[in-house]
Structure 1
């Protein structure tokens, strides 16, 4: 499917860029590997190389971590209820913990969707 290859190229480049942006973060030890793994898997999908067990393991980890970010103090649920969904895109510097956790949550959902799509199409 040509559209999936184009989508995987976009995901590959985007996830590499996101990994680069996270190099200077205090938690780069976590986020750089998260984005690099997703980039590598999407890059390999462009070459019609799929690794189902790795997809399932990565998706499981990403969704488990997203669940934690949703319910943790100053997480997504607090952003939604307590902080009245304040904008998370006004500034690239996340000065409030709920903004950082909400951005990370949505990043994990995007990665999980990309890998889930590859898993589904290649199964």
Structure 2
């Protein structure tokens, strides 16, 4: 029952995140990322699991997260160069590291949700 509730929450949250990204310059990337997570969490809420698909999506998301971590003005620079200023003060990402850091953590959250479903489904 807890897994069903978590998946419904993830499904709706990722759907809202996709909606927030519709007007972004990189909506062609982020809307599908969040929609895929929303769909697969929604389906898992009905007890249908796709372990291989979870692994493929998690792999893509984590590789992209690593890229965002090491990219110029990415998460690594946010931590060491800019000394971790708040990334939540405003919805506007006025500095490049804000956008990349938010995207990085979004990818980690999606990966965690899909990993939960992968392990709860019994894996491959």
* Fold agreement, TM-score > 0.5: yes
2:24 counterpart residue number: 25
CA RMSD, Structure 1 to Structure 2 (Å): 0.4
1:14 counterpart residue number: 13
Counterpart CA distance in 1 for 2:47 and 2:4 is 9
Counterpart CA distance in 2 for 1:9 and 1:93 is 28
Q: Deviations over 1:18-42 (max 9, x none)?
A: 0000000000000000000000000
Which 4+ residue blocks in structure 1 deviate beyond 3 angstroms?
none
Counterpart CA distance in 2 for 1:5 and 1:53 is 20
SS in 1 for 2:86: coil
Alignment of 1:33-52 (within 5 A): 33-52=32-51
TM-score normalised per structure 2: 0.97
TM-score normalised per structure 1: 0.98
Segments of structure 2 that go 5 or more residues without pairing to the other structure are none
Segments of structure 1 that go 5 or more residues without pairing to the other structure are none
Alignment of 1:1-123 (within 5 A): 2-123=1-122
